[in-house]
Structure 1
Amino acid sequence: MMTEFLIYSKRCFINDQFIESTIHIKSDKILCIYSGRNETPNLPFLDYEHLIVMPGIIDVHVHINEPGRENWEGFDTATKAAAIGGVTTLIEMPLNASPVTTDLEAFQLKQDASKGKLHVNCGFYGGIIPSNKNDIEDLIKAGVFGIKGFLTHSGIDEFPNVSKTDLEAIAPILKKYNVPLLLHCELTDDNVPEVTNSKSYQEYLKSRPQHWETNAIDLALDIQKRFDIKMHIVHLSASEGIERIKQRKSKTDKLTVETCPHYLYFNAETIPNESPIFKCAPPIREKANNEKLWNFLLDDGFDFLASDHSPAPPERKQLESGDFFKAWGGISGLQFTLPIIYTNGKEKGLQTEKLIPLLTKKPAEFLGIEHKKGNLKAGFDADIVVWDDSEEFEITEDTIQHKHKATPYLNEMVFGKVIHTFVNGVQVVENSKLKTLQQGQLLLKDR
């Protein structure tokens, strides 16, 4: 295995621009970066010519479901998929595993379950539920990167939603440690139409209206303002939330918001009935709504992008019955964030120089690891992805590393193929195939 080598390309993404450079890797770090082509005797020289060389992707919103629900995904398959997709670091959500990560014992079980199965770097969030307020400080001290809560039913009974009162109770602890609160922003009410056809996508869409999101966002912004804590709104899908977020962001730097590839790539108008492979919560909305999400992205509104990879076995997705209301709500897409957003972005006028930080530097800043990840810089971890922005390819079952091959991205033609991935200075993907496994590290937030 190479422990010291050089990577060269005419398009290395350094200081937010493409520069012809040679990157000197030694052990697990970037030793230094030379301008132009700089071959050194006795050192392997990886010449990637015109391919893009950039920091590894950091995906801060992933559901892996282990321990307890490995038949949904698991660390082994999830982190293989991540590596193939150019994701070198991911942060795993506290729910869908069993037990859910809401106390120290469960957090230790999850760390133990990941051993020997991490092919990319992996950190974790803790969860807030109504009964575990006294566990939050312990989870923070143990190294979680944030605390996640739901304002509506999570889909998992052991991870019930919290109230405003629950969040107010833990806000002083979050403030003390400067830890972000990540909220699934939907507040349910009865102001929705009666369901007459559970296999209709339009009926599913109307069952989770925009005002559910905006009411929840109002609650989140109120808590952020009163307690002056870091607040993160996950997977924004309702464009009616944008103006509220913009106004609050103009007054604080402690509010962040993400969206996901599926809210930008798909539109409700083209989702057929009896196709719960597209079901997620909040739902994929109409084209006009999603154009507004795109405009917000192009206007630097989103802090970063994340997959919200949330897989389930085919029977849980109700792929045979076609029932949207019985199906698990989650999109399987960890492997495809880069090509999906790059392909979609080309049509929308998204510059590659603007896309890359949304997948690398900005999520690193959110996690507080921007001193070692998210940039190509001397002294940084050698997490690097090499990809071809000119190659078009089809997403096929035989290339998917997720445990289950069912994904709404199947058979899509996309640009932006990941060719090589390096994790901690080791090449884990070569020519779009897995090469070296178990090179990921467990990440704990240092406090």
Structure 2
Amino acid sequence: MQSFDLVVKGNLVLTDKVIHGAMGIQNGKIKQVSSNPDELNGKRVKDFQNAYVFPGFIDTHVHCYSNPDEGVATTSEAAAIGGVTTFFDMPYDRPDPINHVAIFEKKVQHLEGKLIVDVCLWGTIAKENGTDQIIPMAKAGAVAFKLSTFETDPYRFPRIPDPEIIKAMSIMNQVHLRAAFHSENGEIIDKMIDEYQKQDQVYPRAHMETRPPVTETSAILKLLEFAYWTGAKLHIVHVSHPRSIELIQWFKKQGVHVTCETCYHYLLLDVHDLEEQGPRAKMNPPVREPEDVQNMWCKLESNQIDIITSDHAPWRLEQKMEGKNNIFKSPSGLPGIELLVPLLFDGGVMAGKLTPVQFARLLSTYPAEVFQVPGKGKIAVDYDADFTVIDPTQETIIDETQLHSQAKFTPFNQKILRGKIVETIVRGTTVYDGAHLVVAHGYGKFVPGSAAE
């Protein structure tokens, strides 16, 4: 009988079912999956008994360098603690966005020696005349490209004009990568914010009121039509409203290659949390009405949403609270890479809204498939031995002061969660043992995108 480097036992979450079984791991890869926990022999054995062994979770929407104080080393540590074995870092870095192959390659080099878990990198384009960098960045390893219809910053996070979007979509087809979009209608939003501020309507709820659902749906509708005519593979990030999902599903039926994600906060928070917590619950797009949240869960449960992400944005609390008396002065975004999995395991699986198999699809299998990440996302032979182990019988209490991110705040502070991450394993090696990080920076790797040469 073959003896493996490592045998992992427990409730294995496969693509279609959960089995109490075992896996044989060799050279960081899964080499055998058995429904008999005692069938496999290993030099080392980890028996997690009745805990769930999920395929390692993948967070495709993370901003390490929107706040340069955070950085990839800190984010990678927070990812491991949060059960995320691979994350995608967004391209809107400070001071320079990742919109040129030379900047992209410099960022890849910067990752060396800093990672605990594996990382993919997004690329983007400049506001004008930037599409010539798409193919070079794709060949250098960009996993996908993120663009915006809303202007956060004219240089770092610009609104891409429509002719450039259509051109970019056509070029991305040549390398078969996905065009992802922050989809908000800036013309409406900017006008409404200006009017609200002139009238001193700067209370927390004003953030949602100046970004009504039409500002999301109108931007998405335009992008869907562009994708229809270009044949592009489109991905809509951080969808906040069920109407957006309905539009996406309508265009899918017309043959448009479109996928979408929502974030944990659009499932677990609503506008009343924004009213109560102010800047601590401010992100773009904003949280919505309670009935919208309920309908987002309905879309999720009926498999109309492909992925759930964190949109990790690690502002320091003092930065966020600059908007204490004027919500528009607070930067948008929450820390989330450390909280995504435990919050949704409690609010989804333990609440009976998602099965463990659905949970694995949304947070592991579909992210890997949508973005064509080889060897990730499944418990299957020849896949990477990336696992997140969760014990449903234990509890976790969120303490924002102990978050690994430099952002020491969350609207979920002191929330008691059902379930505990007891181990995070990347390519057959434990990186987090449920209490401590147990590998050195540098173990994690840069994972090139599917068009890399």
Q: Same fold (TM over 0.5)?
A: yes
> What does residue 179 of structure 1 align with?
177
Deviation for aligned residue 1:222: 0.8
1:409-424 equivalence runs, <5 A: 409-424=412-427
1:50-61 equivalence runs, <5 A: 50-61=50-61
Distance 1:61 1:427 in 2: 24
> What does residue 26 of structure 1 align with?
26
After TM superposition, the structure 1 stretch with the greater mean CA deviation from structure 2, 397-406 or 254-263, is 397-406
1:8-407 equivalence runs, <5 A: 8-9=9-10, 11-38=11-38, 43-65=43-65, 69-71=67-69, 73-131=70-128, 132-155=130-153, 157-190=155-188, 192=192, 194-195=196-197, 196-197=199-200, 199-252=202-255, 254-272=257-275, 275-318=278-321, 321-345=324-348, 346-347=350-351, 349-369=353-373, 371-397=374-400, 399-407=402-410
User: What amino acid sits opposite 1:409 in the alignment?
Assistant: F
Change in 2 beyond 3 A, CA 1:273/1:18: closer
Deviation for aligned residue 1:27: 2.2
After TM superposition, the structure 1 stretch with the greater mean CA deviation from structure 2, 410-419 or 50-59, is 410-419
User: What amino acid sits opposite 2:83 in the alignment?
Assistant: G
SS of the residue aligned with 1:246? helix
Contact 1:392 1:413 survives alignment (8 Å)? yes
Distance 2:383 2:245 in 1: 34
Distance 1:298 1:410 in 2: 27
Percent identity of paired positions between Structure 1 and Structure 2: 27
Distance 1:41 1:61 in 2: 38
Deviation for aligned residue 1:264: 0.5
Deviation for aligned residue 1:128: 2.2
Contact 1:274 1:321 survives alignment (8 Å)? no
Contact 2:12 2:20 survives alignment (8 Å)? yes
Tell me how many residue pairs correspond in the alignment: 440
Distance 2:205 2:137 in 1: 40
Contact 2:375 2:384 survives alignment (8 Å)? yes
Deviation for aligned residue 1:397: 3.4
> What does residue 434 of structure 2 align with?
431
Distance 2:264 2:7 in 1: 33
Distance 1:85 1:402 in 2: 11
Distance 1:397 1:226 in 2: 46
Distance 2:158 2:76 in 1: 27
Contact 1:259 1:304 survives alignment (8 Å)? yes
Deviation for aligned residue 1:362: 0.5
Give a deviation string over 1:344-387, Cα, whole Å, max 9, x none.
22446222221121111110101112x51111112111111111
Deviation for aligned residue 1:277: 1.4
Contact 2:91 2:146 survives alignment (8 Å)? yes
Distance 1:121 1:42 in 2: 25
Change in 2 beyond 3 A, CA 1:51/1:253: farther
User: What amino acid sits opposite 1:349 in the alignment?
Assistant: K
Change in 2 beyond 3 A, CA 1:128/1:75: same
Contact 1:59 1:87 survives alignment (8 Å)? yes
Deviation for aligned residue 1:74: 0.7
After TM superposition, the structure 1 stretch with the greater mean CA deviation from structure 2, 226-235 or 245-254, is 245-254
Structure 2: gaps (5+ residues): none
Deviation for aligned residue 1:243: 1.9
SS of the residue aligned with 2:354? coil
> What does residue 5 of structure 1 align with?
6
Contact 1:200 1:273 survives alignment (8 Å)? no
Deviation for aligned residue 1:408: 2.0
Contact 2:279 2:323 survives alignment (8 Å)? no
After TM superposition, the structure 1 stretch with the greater mean CA deviation from structure 2, 83-92 or 12-21, is 12-21
Change in 2 beyond 3 A, CA 1:156/1:121: farther
Contact 1:95 1:156 survives alignment (8 Å)? no
Deviation for aligned residue 1:143: 1.2
User: What amino acid sits opposite 2:361 in the alignment?
Assistant: P
Bigger fraction of residues in helix: 2
User: What amino acid sits opposite 2:370 in the alignment?
Assistant: F
After TM superposition, the structure 1 stretch with the greater mean CA deviation from structure 2, 26-35 or 84-93, is 26-35
User: What amino acid sits opposite 2:44 in the alignment?
Assistant: P
User: What amino acid sits opposite 2:60 in the alignment?
Assistant: V
Distance 1:349 1:137 in 2: 41
Deviation for aligned residue 1:319: 5.2
- TM, length-normalised to structure 2: 0.92
User: What amino acid sits opposite 1:106 in the alignment?
Assistant: I
User: What amino acid sits opposite 1:166 in the alignment?
Assistant: E
Contact 2:124 2:145 survives alignment (8 Å)? yes
Contact 2:147 2:180 survives alignment (8 Å)? yes
Distance 1:198 1:361 in 2: 44
> What does residue 444 of structure 1 align with?
448
